[in-house]
């Protein structure tokens, strides 16, 4: 049976994107590969709202690899403030603790986000080299107002880093306007590509900190990747470590499709689908993890249950053709699951998901209004 992957990445992938990776004869020095890398690097800048002065990187790995690449801009003794709205915010602390840098964490309650004024106060009270934020916290589906935070702290810290893993391609991202130094993401999320690559864009200031003094190791040291990216962008073959060649063909196809749809339209499509899903859930009679409307994201919605066990719900919905994501925030363990709505997602996918959820929740004894979720979503899409 066909399955709809309403997950947090990988997500259901466009068939043309998948097929673009079917190639038996492409070495890392082949012109076709060099061309798709060059196109993808250039397009990555546009995806985050950066100009030519910013340096894009496409590296093997995943979102965590991209996060670890950020360490290339840090030196021994640097101090980092982590703005954490959940599991992936906390990941920065776990990661940075492996390096000789100091880390403080500002934490939000589950379902909420750290307020811009709290971040501003923290960087006034203490001198930090870097502040990290998570644009959309995937564990709860909460969005941080990164532009506003960046504006308040820009002159008080050296480097502003945003984890855009669940945002780039689906939320408004204006790296240059916000004066953010690093925006990073992963292939398998809102970009709708299979997993296998980490993507980063660095400001000139961030690039200037890539040096032998950094605390980075070898493979994820962006200094080792810098010339490779610069060469490939101008269509010169280059090697540090092998890139996910076939994946980059899929990436270039995805980027071509994004260009055809228009980035703004793509963001609007995500917003519309997310809105329909939330409206449907509310009318169905279940609560959303994100505590306030301005915290809602375009890509992930956490769903709180009163009676049914989320693990049972996930098992049942798969038998009905939809795969959803488990809840991973430890403070909400056993109380919620997540719907991912990113990539190539459509209103039809939202309706199908809500319809399956209504049937399953009803069967599992959750008190819901059968049919009301689908009806509300239909109205929202009409």
Residues near ligand PMP (CB under 6 A) are 8-9, 62-64, 88, 134, 138, 163, 165-166, 186
Closest distance between ligand PMP and the C-beta of residue 87, in Å?
8
Unique residue bearing structure tokens 């010339």: 227
Q: Which is nearer to ligand PMP, 26 or 95 (CB)?
A: 95
Structure tokens at 30: 């082949």
Alpha-carbon distance of 378 to 372, in angstroms, equals 10
Pairing of strands 182-186, 159-163: parallel
Do 346 and 13 meet the contact criterion of CB atoms below 8 Å apart? no
Closest distance between ligand PMP and the C-beta of residue 35, in Å?
26
Do 68 and 193 meet the contact criterion of CB atoms below 8 Å apart? no
Structure tokens at 6: 């309403």
Closest distance between ligand PMP and the C-beta of residue 188, in Å?
6
Ranked by CB distance to ligand PMP, the top (closest) residue is 63
Closest distance between ligand PMP and the C-beta of residue 74, in Å?
18
Q: Which is nearer to ligand PMP, 137 or 358 (CB)?
A: 137
Closest distance between ligand PMP and the C-beta of residue 150, in Å?
17
DSSP designation for 214: B
Q: Which is nearer to ligand PMP, 134 or 353 (CB)?
A: 134
Q: Which is nearer to ligand PMP, 74 or 186 (CB)?
A: 186
Closest distance between ligand PMP and the C-beta of residue 63, in Å?
2
Q: Which is nearer to ligand PMP, 329 or 377 (CB)?
A: 329
Alpha-carbon distance of 326 to 149, in angstroms, equals 30
Q: Which is nearer to ligand PMP, 9 or 21 (CB)?
A: 9
Long-range contacts of 256-260 (CB under 8 A, 24+ apart): 257/14, 257/16, 257/17, 258/43, 258/47, 258/169, 258/191, 259/43
């Amino acid at each position: 049976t066909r399955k709809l992957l309403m997950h947090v990445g990988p997500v259901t992938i466009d068939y043309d994107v998948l097929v673009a990776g079917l190639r038996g004869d492409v070495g890392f020095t082949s012109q076709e590969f060099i061309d798709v890398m060059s196109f993808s690097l250039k397009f990555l800048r546009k995806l985050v709202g950066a100009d030519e002065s910013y340096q894009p990187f496409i590296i093997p790995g995943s979102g965590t690899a991209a996060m670890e690449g950020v360490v290339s801009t840090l030196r021994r003794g640097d101090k980092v403030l982590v703005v954490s709205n959940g599991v992936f915010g906390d990941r920065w602390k776990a990661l940075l603790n492996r390096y000789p840098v100091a880390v403080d964490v500002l934490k939000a309650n589950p379902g909420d986000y750290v307020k811009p004024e709290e971040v501003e106060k923290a960087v006034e009270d203490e001198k930090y080299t870097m502040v990290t934020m998570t644009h959309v916290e995937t564990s709860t589906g909460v969005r941080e107002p990164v532009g506003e935070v960046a504006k308040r702290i820009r002159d008080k810290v050296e480097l502003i880093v945003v984890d855009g893993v669940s945002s780039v391609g689906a939320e408004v991202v204006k790296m240059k306007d916000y004066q953010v130094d690093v925006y990073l993401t992963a292939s398998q999320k809102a970009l709708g590509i299979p997993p296998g690559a980490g993507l980063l864009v660095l400001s000139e200031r961030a690039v200037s900190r890539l040096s032998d003094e950094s605390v980075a190791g070898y493979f994820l040291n962006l200094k080792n990747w810098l010339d490779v990216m610069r060469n490939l962008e101008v269509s010169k073959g280059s090697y540090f470590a092998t890139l996910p060649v076939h994946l980059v063909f899929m990436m270039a196809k995805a980027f071509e499709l994004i260009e055809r749809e228009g980035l703004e339209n793509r963001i609007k499509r995500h917003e519309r689908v997310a809105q329909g899903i939330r409206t449907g859930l509310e009318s169905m009679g279940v609560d959303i993890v994100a505590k306030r409307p301005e915290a809602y994201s375009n890509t992930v919605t956490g769903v709180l249950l009163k009676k049914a066990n989320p693990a049972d719900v996930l098992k049942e919905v798969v038998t009905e053709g939809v795969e959803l994501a488990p809840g991973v925030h430890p403070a909400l363990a056993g109380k919620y699951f997540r719907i991912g709505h990113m990539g190539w997602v459509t209103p039809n996918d939202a309706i199908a998901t809500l319809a399956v959820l209504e049937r399953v929740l009803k069967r599992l004894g959750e008190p819901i209004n059968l049919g009301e979720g689908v009806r509300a979503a239909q109205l929202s899409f009409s």
